[in-house]
Structure 1
Amino acid sequence: MTKPRVTHTLLTLSLLLLTMSVFAAPDSLTLKWAYQTGGRLFGSAYFYDGTVFFGSEDKNIYAVDSQTGVARWTFETTGGLYSSPVVSDGALFMLSMDGFFYAVDAETGKLRWKFKTGGERKQDLWDYNLSDAVVNNGKVYFGSSDQHIYALDAADGRLIWKFKTGDMVHATPVIQHDTLYVGGFDGFLYAHNATTGHLLWKFRSVGDVYFPKGEFQKGVLFHDNTLYAGSRDFNIYALDPKTGRGKWNMKEYGSWIIATPSAYRNKLYFGTSDTHVFYALDAADGRVQWKIPLNMRVYGSAVADGSLIYFGSFNGKLYGVDPETGAIKKIFQSIGSKLNYARVFAADDHFKAGFSLYGDDTDASEQQILALGGFVNTPLLQNGTLYVGSTDGRLYAIAAD
């Protein structure tokens, strides 16, 4: 499979100088424990009552003691798990590639109920996640590859309403003031009444010459009465949540913006796919505050601990950066990255000679990237510990202080 044409930006002298400064001797983050599964981890972890919950490509949902890293229980589905769990009222909710949406008792790991969708699938090589669920007022909401947005009764899985879009929905819904917001692979961002499912408005992405649908692959951010969302049409959008009209947009020429942006102290933080840049923007008007070059994609969101912004990359590195300057202060490298980094990158951190990310055999190249033990998801920060899953199959617990 060959990815459609993408224009890659060249590093300017200023970016090279910035690289030298922000990568200057960051401190190493300390590993507390790592839990090995039988498959790659693409979804984020969830913390509830001293337990960390997460799913693996090996088809299992795991409940692991947050302090010791010892499994409390596992629950096996019949498909890979590419979403993130959520727990509410003692029930864990999660969508599986087997086409079932599961409700599992968070204490015992026993099945409460399951709901069958019209089937789950991936769009292409670079579509790594299914929709996460959100729970609100006794209802659980999620999107599906069968093109529907679902609202189920959280207690028994009964269908309350569903809405058919024009393509797959792998983004995670967000609910504010009884309005549900979610984007889809049809290039629309939808606003629904969360109680009734009534469509309030929909926003169409601009599109791009190479990606005319302008797919919304991941979830939106609601912050300070504004919706923020990235798209495969190279744009990040800021929208009015009541009307769906645009406030501003920024086009990152040559790169999808997959990651859901994060907000901290009136700045937006997010990484890009193909230009391999991490940005800080003014949340009010989209002006660039700073940016740092990386050597790989960022799909997960960033999290803040009060002093640093943490985010992970497909290169198998977790970064802790100064929120005001972008200077890299702390770093952690996965086991998979340590073992396989030199197979992809040269000593100067650029791609080694002969490696092409989007060349004649993109499948083989993507497998090499996944072997780096990348952090595709969003780190979970809880009680001074970062919990983050890796494509080397491990969930890492890392000291953030």
Structure 2
Amino acid sequence: MRLLIPRFGALAFLALLASALVARAATAALSPLERATTDPSFTATGEPGSLALLGVIPSFVLVGPLAVVAALFPGVFARLAIGMKRWRAFLVVASLNSTLALVYFALVTYRPHWLPPGSGFGPAAIASYFTLFALVGSVWAGCRYRRMAAAAPEVTAPPDRTEILALAGLTAFAALGTVLTALFAGWDSTLRVPMREFTFIGLALLAATLYAGYRALTHRADSDAGGCAPAVRLSLPGEAVALGTLVLCGFATVLLTSAPTSGPVATGTETGDAETVFGPRLVGEPVAIAAFELEGNKKEKVFGRVMSNLALDGERLVFGTSASPADGRMLCMNRATGKVEWALDDPDLKAVFCTPTVANGKVYCGEGMHEDRGRRLFCVSASTGVPVWKEPFKTASHTEGAPAVAGGKVYFPAGDDGLYCARADTGAPVWQLKGGKETGIHIDAAPVVSNGTVFVGSGLYSYVAVALDAVTGAEKWRTDLGLRVFGQPLVSEGNVFYGVGTGNMGADVWHYDEEGAARDTEAAGAVCCLDATTGKEKWRYPLPRSVHTGLAADAFSIYAGCRDGFVYALDRRTGKLRWKAGIGSSVTSAPAVAAEGGFPVAVYAVSREGRMFCLNPQTGAVVWWRGELPGYNWAGRDENNVMCTPLVISTVTSTGSKRTIYFGAHQTDLNPNVRHVAVFKFEDVIGE
């Protein structure tokens, strides 16, 4: 994308220049009367006015077909270019809006921190500006049309066959662009910046084409009883119809982007009549611990959002962030002050979705998302962030899942590279479970090491759970789970539990090109229990949508967050449902359970919209919940989803107990594109 925009801009500029030169030559060949009917800036002296060039500036949507016509049929294009002068206002507005949309998209994607803070550059504001430009263009078009009609009344005649075909061709080209965008990026992308503006231009051209066809079919209505057509017809110009369509589309966008985007609140439990008589209670207000960097005497927020879970290292929290897909960081933050104590700022570091693992004074962390290749695993000092290994462990794929450290070795997933085992002190490779389409393995989920066995799962090619010998890497068993595995398994009391499903973290169904034929057809999910020794499936609880986050457990239940917006509690022995509690429109982070003396007292979960819930572990009843986090703005966008699992720290008090709950997300300055790293802190107590 970084290379595409400048190249596209250069081609567009050449096309615009060619259009201008051809149009100039054609204009010079026309008679003064013809020039007056197409160019109101033409003066009595026969010299074109200063606005002539604006009449041949097409929108980027039109550059492709116009360039083809110009190359193959220069004579036809010359006449078409002159006709385009009658559409000067629409073309200028379309060019301005589409170009600004591309620039805005590039900034939001790659340099969002360049956008000024505040709501002036938020989605609603940008939509308002584009609508205002279209409205101004409508007024301009109306004034021009009246002047043209006064100079040459025949301009009010119904459009001829050439104009209708040109409009129909441009409309078909715009429709083709919209369909291709939908096929490659989904239909929702056609209504998001930047393609939204191109979609609106296509709708405007469609409206103008239909209006032109209507004028042509009903042209006899202009004639009097004797069949004579008047010199001036009462009509709207097609340009005004197109601009009016842009205004209506823009106005609807402003209303939608300005409307509240809050999702549903908790919908209760399966039974709905349980009452809480004992449990934690929220104390105080939630606190946002923003991550700050200190540059001299300047206190500056860290741009981006928290992508990973939080790793606890004493009074410090270590986590991964992303400012854009190509710009990631690993931060170590003091959880009391929000001060960044150190940061891994490798210039080539991609978004850090991987949850860091702290072990023996070291931090192990990977980088990259599914589309990234050639990513690495880092090992740095937990106290300073200084690299411990001579160089990061290089892979041919990405390293999304949290590493597991055991027995002096570190085990980590690497997508199409499968699973690696390396020495924890030096990073020297020990063994590898090879992945890729040939082996039918793609591992993104964090592994778990227990009793000399490594448990992993595959999310592409084959959807299997695999157990490996931790020392040699030899396969112990492999079980087909039937659905993708993108969440970390959980091992407890001789069993291993997997959350599975279709799609991925952001979609219920998804087609991965590397798999070939589409695999996902309908949304589905499940929680599965396998025997840790044999891999035999003991029970499975089907769910309507996927579970691609980790699981939590206590002595009685397994807890799962599902994309259907519910937290499920399942009997760990039988897999039967204990309860389910709705917390929002989707759950994109794992729940956490707190226990006192081995007895569960609370389950904590956060919705993708940023609502924090404390649930009774026995009934699922909502003990307390809190929304409206300070400075947080979900804005109805998946890229703002909370993906961080709550981190619970329990302490004993003189009268009972206290829990401090952290989870990472972001804060905004009204503009949801300008995000700053933040960790939110809650506290609840029992017995005070």
Q: Which residue number corresponds to residue 389 of structure 1?
A: 664
Indicate the structure with greater strand content: 1
Deviation at 1:29, TM superposition (A): 6.2
* Identical positions, percent: 21
Match of 2:377 among 101, 104, 108: 101
Residues 15, 154 of structure 1: CA spacing in aligned structure 2 closer, same or farther, 3 A cutoff? closer
Deviation at 1:369, TM superposition (A): 3.3
Tell me the SS of whatever aligns to 1:248.
strand
The reply on whether 1:264 has 2:533 as its aligned counterpart is: no
Q: Which residue number corresponds to residue 527 of structure 2?
A: 236
Tell me the SS of whatever aligns to 1:18.
coil
Match of 1:179 among 453, 465, 475: 453
- What is the CA–CA distance in structure 2 between the aligned matches of 1:255 and 1:42, rounded to whole Å? 22
Length, aligned pairs only: 345
Deviation at 1:399, TM superposition (A): 2.1
- What is the CA–CA distance in structure 2 between the aligned matches of 1:17 and 1:174, rounded to whole Å? 35
- What is the CA–CA distance in structure 1 between the aligned matches of 2:585 and 2:321, rounded to whole Å? 22
Q: Which residue number corresponds to residue 320 of structure 2?
A: 55
Tell me the SS of whatever aligns to 2:305.
coil
Q: 2:662 is matched by which residue type in structure 1?
A: Y
Matches within 5 A, 1:127-138: 130-138=400-408
The higher-RCO structure (CA 8 Å, 6+ apart) is: 1
Match of 1:219 among 477, 488, 492: 488
Q: Which residue number corresponds to residue 398 of structure 1?
A: 682
Q: Which residue number corresponds to residue 378 of structure 1?
A: 645
Deviation at 1:239, TM superposition (A): 0.4
Deviation at 1:19, TM superposition (A): 9.9
- What is the CA–CA distance in structure 2 between the aligned matches of 1:398 and 1:85, rounded to whole Å? 22
Tell me the SS of whatever aligns to 2:388.
strand
The reply on whether 1:143 has 2:413 as its aligned counterpart is: yes
- What is the CA–CA distance in structure 1 between the aligned matches of 2:632 and 2:351, rounded to whole Å? 26
- What is the CA–CA distance in structure 2 between the aligned matches of 1:178 and 1:43, rounded to whole Å? 27
- What is the CA–CA distance in structure 2 between the aligned matches of 1:144 and 1:179, rounded to whole Å? 18
Checking the alignment, whether the CA contact within 8 Å between 2:268 and 2:581 is kept in structure 1 is no
Q: Which runs of 5+ in 1 are unaligned?
A: 4-12, 122-129, 207-213, 345-367
Deviation at 1:16, TM superposition (A): 9.3
Checking the alignment, whether the CA contact within 8 Å between 2:583 and 2:611 is kept in structure 1 is no
Tell me the SS of whatever aligns to 1:370.
helix
Moved over 6 A (4+): 13-17, 19-22
The reply on whether 1:194 has 2:470 as its aligned counterpart is: yes
Q: 1:94 is matched by which residue type in structure 2?
A: C
Q: Which residue number corresponds to residue 577 of structure 2?
A: 288
Tell me the SS of whatever aligns to 1:308.
strand
Checking the alignment, whether the CA contact within 8 Å between 2:565 and 2:587 is kept in structure 1 is yes
Q: 1:202 is matched by which residue type in structure 2?
A: R
- What is the CA–CA distance in structure 1 between the aligned matches of 2:575 and 2:274, rounded to whole Å? 26
Q: 1:283 is matched by which residue type in structure 2?
A: R
**TM-score normalised by L of structure 1:** 0.79
Map Cα deviations across residues 24-45 of structure 1 (whole Å, 9 max, x no partner).
xx85763344124322212111
Deviation at 1:147, TM superposition (A): 3.3
Deviation at 1:14, TM superposition (A): 8.8
Checking the alignment, whether the CA contact within 8 Å between 2:561 and 2:567 is kept in structure 1 is yes
Checking the alignment, whether the CA contact within 8 Å between 2:559 and 2:567 is kept in structure 1 is yes
Indicate the structure with greater helix content: 2
- What is the CA–CA distance in structure 1 between the aligned matches of 2:283 and 2:626, rounded to whole Å? 6
Checking the alignment, whether the CA contact within 8 Å between 1:42 and 1:391 is kept in structure 2 is no
- What is the CA–CA distance in structure 2 between the aligned matches of 1:137 and 1:79, rounded to whole Å? 29
Q: 2:416 is matched by which residue type in structure 1?
A: D
Map Cα deviations across residues 340-370 of structure 1 (whole Å, 9 max, x no partner).
5xx54xxxxxxxxxxxxxxxxxxxxxxx133
- What is the CA–CA distance in structure 2 between the aligned matches of 1:302 and 1:75, rounded to whole Å? 28
Tell me the SS of whatever aligns to 1:235.
strand
Checking the alignment, whether the CA contact within 8 Å between 1:184 and 1:215 is kept in structure 2 is yes
- What is the CA–CA distance in structure 1 between the aligned matches of 2:284 and 2:478, rounded to whole Å? 43
Deviation at 1:300, TM superposition (A): 2.3
Checking the alignment, whether the CA contact within 8 Å between 2:288 and 2:678 is kept in structure 1 is no
Residues 18, 379 of structure 1: CA spacing in aligned structure 2 closer, same or farther, 3 A cutoff? same
Q: Which residue number corresponds to residue 395 of structure 2?
A: 117
**TM-score normalised by L of structure 2:** 0.47
Pick the structure with greater CA Rg.
Answer: 2
- What is the CA–CA distance in structure 1 between the aligned matches of 2:570 and 2:632, rounded to whole Å? 32
Matches within 5 A, 1:19-168: 27=282, 30-36=285-291, 37-58=302-323, 59-77=328-346, 78-97=349-368, 99-113=375-389, 114-120=392-398, 130-165=400-435, 166-168=440-442
Tell me the SS of whatever aligns to 1:108.
coil
Map Cα deviations across residues 159-214 of structure 1 (whole Å, 9 max, x no partner).
000011324311111111100001011301110000110011111113xxxxxxx1
